[in-house]
């Protein structure tokens, strides 16, 4: 039994945190969070924690922020301004221990040691601690918690406790912590409860079963209240008691749906299997995912660990079985950004899923298809056509960006991104197209992808208005660099818009050639006539892009180069972001850039940077960037890696890696998952040089000299390919699927299952 409570012995697969400090606890809880894309749970202690409730007093600092989330369970809280937010559900792992009448509280007595370990390989959170109570009893505990990857409705907790004394009266009380303060109870039964949201008519049901054995024999609990189990016994020194709890959760999205039956069924399923089989199935599911997704780096242990950590959270965040949800900016690991979905998902995360887990990528893109009506409404509301996706999206596809937030001095600061950050409508199109190119999933293209491409293209044509100079301009926007608001002709936005319109035209031609009936039906449904397509062609030719053909330099937006030049390096070692130090106005009047903007464009559309233009732009914009967003460093790493600027790339990769691995208080609100997806891209697309969107799969590696090996797998059009890259060359192996031609550093190579190919440098 204890072996399941011990971490994988290989330290390359574990992250451990010793001790407890109020200053880092919330960040540790995010970093060590676990989940399966349907459920997410922060790594707060389950035993001896003491209660937590919400308070408006800003100076109360909660020692910890325990939270359980259900993807897609949004409601409108009583905040000002009100925006939908993920509703926390009951903490199903609460355990209270009472020794001789005194409740064990971590803050009393002495914590002799306490280690939490995230076992990445097995996808479990482990804890191991010893606590001396004020009465002098030593309590030892070991715990395992997981949210099953094999059956996403199910969670498991195993807790083993022992005392160093005989004859202590022990009471172990397992309960479900307060369920979302904002939900109404609908049902409360012995083993199941259900709640509904007040405003959105969603519901959640949670069911539980618990057992306890000590001295090897199971003992019956008292059941004083639903979802509460109480055991009492007298301790025998050194004798372990083992507590096991299974839970099952279901969400219902409509008032006529009842989440109780599926939760009860999931509980019955898992109790019939027993916890050992639930654990085994979960570990096997993680094993399968790791076989596909592990990236091996020899020669850089820190990045190896960071990559595993990134893949762990990326795997925990997605759910291929649910097309109605997407991944928020902090996954299901914290409250920041309320669970809202940004361009982070399409631009920073989708490349990972498309290459490694296309089923998850498809579900995430289907979420954008199901939320098209919201995007259409937003376009109409702002006076445009087609689909303008919300900058921040929750469950319905309506814009959920707050209009203002309270600034540091208590005065409201207007938030313009929801009104002006329109590039999201090109980012979604970008992800759709690249998913289709990499997977060849025609079914998706025909049912959903083409419509997204046409509606976003249509939006951009209506957005890029012809003016007296004969060009089309896109005015009043915010680009990825959010330090500069309400700008005209942001190069990133305009070039991505032009690209989207071009893909719209391409998809019309493609559908007409290959699926004429579908082309006709879709064009009829969207009332897309030839006249309109003529306008699209006109738009692709006339959108201003800010490129100076003489120098190859893009101007980030109209007038950017006339702004003050600041030396960003002067502010680099400040703890605060540059816009806070120098103020909003000065930031806006200067050439300081929040995050990769033109640099992001180099990463996304390298074909728009002919000759030395990519290098010219990178050299120009990199020193202007203050990296005021966690999204920034990884894009710089990717571009630097492609440009062969290895040291710069490594520096940015390590910077990204440290975001959530180091004790950075900014992780308190959840892991910055876009940075994690960006890191995977920087390694695999940057140094690995993997490209999936061409006519054939291409790989063109640039390994740093100190790396001995980079190996990873990818899926591509119903095939699975494994690569091992060393300083001498590339080994490629087709693991599954039909014979294929691939490009290795420009050389064409045929691959067949069972036959390895090697191209030497």
Residues 49, 51, 55, 59, CA torsion sign: negative
Q: Residues near 733 by Cβ (< 8 Å), separated by ≥ 6? A: 721, 722, 723, 751, 755, 756, 757
506 is known as an active-site residue: no
- Smallest distance from the beta carbon of 488 to ligand BGC, in angstroms? 20
Judged by the rule CB under 6 A, the positions of this chain that interact with ligand BGC are 329, 337, 342-344, 480, 482, 594-595, 629, 631, 674
304 vs 345, which CB is nearer to ligand BGC? 345
- Smallest distance from the beta carbon of 390 to ligand BGC, in angstroms? 12
Q: Within 10 Å of residue 326's Cβ, how many Cβ atoms?
A: 30
Contact between 441 and 358 (Cβ < 8 Å): yes
The dihedrals phi and psi of 504, each to the nearest 5 degrees, come to -60, -45
Rg (CA), the chain: 27
The dihedrals phi and psi of 6, each to the nearest 5 degrees, come to -100, 140
316 vs 462, which CB is nearer to ligand BGC? 316
Q: Within 10 Å of residue 614's Cβ, how many Cβ atoms?
A: 21
336 vs 461, which CB is nearer to ligand BGC? 336
What six digits make up the tokens of 275?
Answer: 């916890």
What six digits make up the tokens of 62?
Answer: 């909660």
What six digits make up the tokens of 329?
Answer: 């900016």
154 vs 329, which CB is nearer to ligand BGC? 329
What six digits make up the tokens of 369?
Answer: 């298809």
Closest by Cα among 572, 398, 625, 167 to 388: 398
What six digits make up the tokens of 9?
Answer: 């012995």
Helix (H, G, I), strand (E, B) or coil at 364: helix
Closest by Cα among 547, 589, 583, 546 to 565: 589
Query: What is the rounded distance in angstroms from the CA atom of residue 628 to the CA atom of residue 650?
Result: 19
Q: Residues near 572 by Cβ (< 8 Å), separated by ≥ 6? A: none
152 vs 594, which CB is nearer to ligand BGC? 594
Closest by Cα among 69, 38, 79 to 400: 79
Query: What is the rounded distance in angstroms from the CA atom of residue 166 to the CA atom of residue 157?
Result: 26
Query: What is the rounded distance in angstroms from the CA atom of residue 29 to the CA atom of residue 668?
Result: 7
752 strand-pairing partners? 755
Alpha-carbon distances, residue 542 vs 471, 487, 498 (angstroms): 5, 19, 9
Alpha-carbon distances, residue 179 vs 74, 83, 122 (angstroms): 14, 20, 28
560 vs 687, which CB is nearer to ligand BGC? 560
591 vs 629, which CB is nearer to ligand BGC? 629
Query: What is the rounded distance in angstroms from the CA atom of residue 743 to the CA atom of residue 755?
Result: 16
129 vs 337, which CB is nearer to ligand BGC? 337
Alpha-carbon distances, residue 603 vs 9, 357, 421, 616 (angstroms): 38, 21, 19, 14
- Smallest distance from the beta carbon of 674 to ligand BGC, in angstroms? 5
12 vs 81, which CB is nearer to ligand BGC? 81
- Smallest distance from the beta carbon of 337 to ligand BGC, in angstroms? 6
Largest CA distance in the chain: 90
List, as one string, the DSSP characters of 30-93.
Answer: HHT-EE-SSEEE-----BS---------TT---S----EEETT-EE--S-SS---EEPPB--TT
Encode 198-225: b = buried (16+ Cβ within 10 Å), e = exposed.
Answer: eebebbbbbbbbbbbebeeeeeebeeee
126 vs 424, which CB is nearer to ligand BGC? 424
Q: Find the catalytic residue in 143, 455, 482, 655.
A: 482
48 vs 345, which CB is nearer to ligand BGC? 345
- Smallest distance from the beta carbon of 630 to ligand BGC, in angstroms? 7
List, as one string, the DSSP characters of 100-117.
Answer: TTEE--TTSSEEEEEEEE
204 strand-pairing partners? 195, 251
Helix (H, G, I), strand (E, B) or coil at 739: coil
Query: What is the rounded distance in angstroms from the CA atom of residue 743 to the CA atom of residue 522?
Result: 35
Angle made by CA atoms 416, 428, 508, in degrees to the nearest 5: 125
146 vs 496, which CB is nearer to ligand BGC? 496
- Smallest distance from the beta carbon of 344 to ligand BGC, in angstroms? 5
Query: What is the rounded distance in angstroms from the CA atom of residue 632 to the CA atom of residue 626?
Result: 9
- Smallest distance from the beta carbon of 327 to ligand BGC, in angstroms? 11
As annotated, the active-site residues are 482
């Amino acid at each position: 039994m204890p072996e399941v409570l011990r971490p994988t012995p290989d330290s390359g697969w574990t992250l451990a945190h010793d001790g407890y400090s109020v200053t880092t606890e919330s960040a540790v809880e995010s970093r060590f969070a676990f989940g399966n894309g349907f459920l997410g749970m922060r790594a707060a202690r389950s035993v001896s924690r003491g209660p937590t409730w919400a308070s408006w007093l800003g100076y109360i600092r909660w020692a910890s922020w325990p939270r359980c989330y259900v993807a897609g369970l949004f409601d409108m809280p009583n905040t000002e301004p009100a925006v939908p937010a993920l509703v926390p559900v009951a903490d199903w792992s609460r355990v209270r221990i009472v020794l001789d009448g005194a409740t064990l509280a971590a803050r009393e007595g002495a914590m002799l040691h306490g280690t939490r370990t995230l076992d990445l390989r097995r996808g479990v959170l482990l804890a191991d601690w010893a606590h001396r109570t004020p009465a002098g009893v030593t309590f030892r505990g070991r715990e395992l918690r997981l949210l099953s990857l094999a059956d996403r409705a199910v969670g498991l907790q195993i807790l083993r406790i022992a005392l160093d004394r005989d004859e202590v009266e022990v009471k172990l009380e397992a309960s479900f912590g307060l369920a979302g303060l904002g939900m109404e109870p609908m049902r409360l039964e012995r083993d199941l409860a259900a709640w509904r949201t007040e405003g959105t008519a969603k519901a959640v049901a949670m069911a539980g079963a618990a057992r306890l054995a000590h001295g090897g024999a199971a003992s019956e609990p008292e059941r004083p209240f639903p979802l509460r189990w109480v055991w009492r016994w007298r301790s025998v020194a050194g004798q372990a008691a083992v507590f096991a709890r299974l839970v099952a959760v279901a969400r219902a999205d409509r008032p006529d749906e009842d989440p109780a039956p599926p939760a009860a069924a999931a509980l019955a399923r898992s109790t019939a299997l027993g916890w050992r089989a639930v654990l085994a199935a979960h570990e096997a599911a993680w094993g399968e995912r790791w076989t596909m997704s592990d990236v091996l780096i020899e020669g850089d242990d820190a990045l190896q660990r960071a990559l595993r950590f990134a893949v762990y959270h990326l795997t925990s965040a997605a759910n291929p079985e649910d097309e109605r949800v997407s991944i928020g900016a902090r996954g299901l690991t914290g409250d920041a950004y309320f669970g809202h979905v940004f361009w982070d998902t399409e631009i920073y995360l989708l490349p990972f899923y498309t290459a490694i887990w296309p089923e998850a990528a498809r579900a995430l893109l289907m979420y954008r298809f199901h939320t098209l009506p919201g995007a259409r409404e937003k376009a109409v509301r702002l006076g445009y056509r087609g689909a303008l996706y919300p900058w921040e999206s929750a469950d319905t596809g309506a814009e959920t960006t707050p209009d203002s937030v309270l600034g540091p001095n208590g005065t409201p600061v207007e938030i313009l991104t929801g009104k002006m950050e329109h590039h999201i409508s090109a980012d979604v199109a970008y992800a759709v197209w690249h998913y289709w190119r990499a997977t060849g999933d025609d079914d998706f293209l025909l049912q959903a992808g083409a419509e997204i491409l046409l509606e976003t293209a249509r939006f951009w044509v209506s957005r890029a208005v012809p003016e007296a100079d004969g060009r089309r301009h896109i005015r009043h926007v915010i680009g990825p660099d959010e330090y500069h608001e309400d700008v005209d002709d942001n190069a990133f936005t305009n070039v991505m818009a032009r690209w989207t319109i071009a893909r719209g035209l391409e998809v019309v031609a493609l559908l007409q050639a290959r699926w004429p009936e579908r082309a006709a039906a879709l064009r009829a449904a969207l009332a897309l006539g030839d006249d309109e397509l003529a306008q699209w062609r006109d738009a692709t030719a006339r959108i201003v892009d800010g490129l100076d053909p003489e120098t190859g330099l893009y101007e980030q937006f109209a007038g950017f180069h006339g702004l003050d030049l600041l030396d960003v390096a002067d502010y680099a070692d400040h703890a605060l972001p540059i816009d806070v130090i120098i103020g909003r106005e000065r930031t806006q009047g200067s050439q300081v850039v929040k995050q990769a903007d033109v640099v992001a464009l180099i990463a996304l559309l390298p074909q728009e940077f002919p000759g030395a233009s990519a290098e010219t732009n990178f050299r120009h914009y990199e020193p202007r960037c203050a990296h005021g967003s966690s999204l920034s460093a990884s894009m710089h790493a990717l571009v630097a890696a492609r440009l062969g600027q290895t040291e710069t790339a490594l520096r940015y990769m390590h910077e990204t890696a440290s975001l959530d691995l180091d004790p950075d208080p900014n992780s308190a609100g959840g892991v910055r998952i876009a940075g994690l997806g960006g890191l995977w891209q920087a390694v695999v697309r940057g140094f690995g040089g993997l490209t999936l969107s061409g006519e054939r799969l291409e790989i063109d590696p640039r390994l740093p000299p100190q790396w001995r090996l980079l190996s990873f797998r990818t899926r591509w059009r119903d095939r699975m390919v494994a690569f091992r890259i060393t300083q001498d060359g590339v080994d490629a192996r087709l693991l599954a699927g039909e014979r294929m031609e691939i490009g290795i550093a420009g050389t064409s190579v045929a691959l067949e299952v069972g036959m390895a190919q090697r191209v030497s440098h």
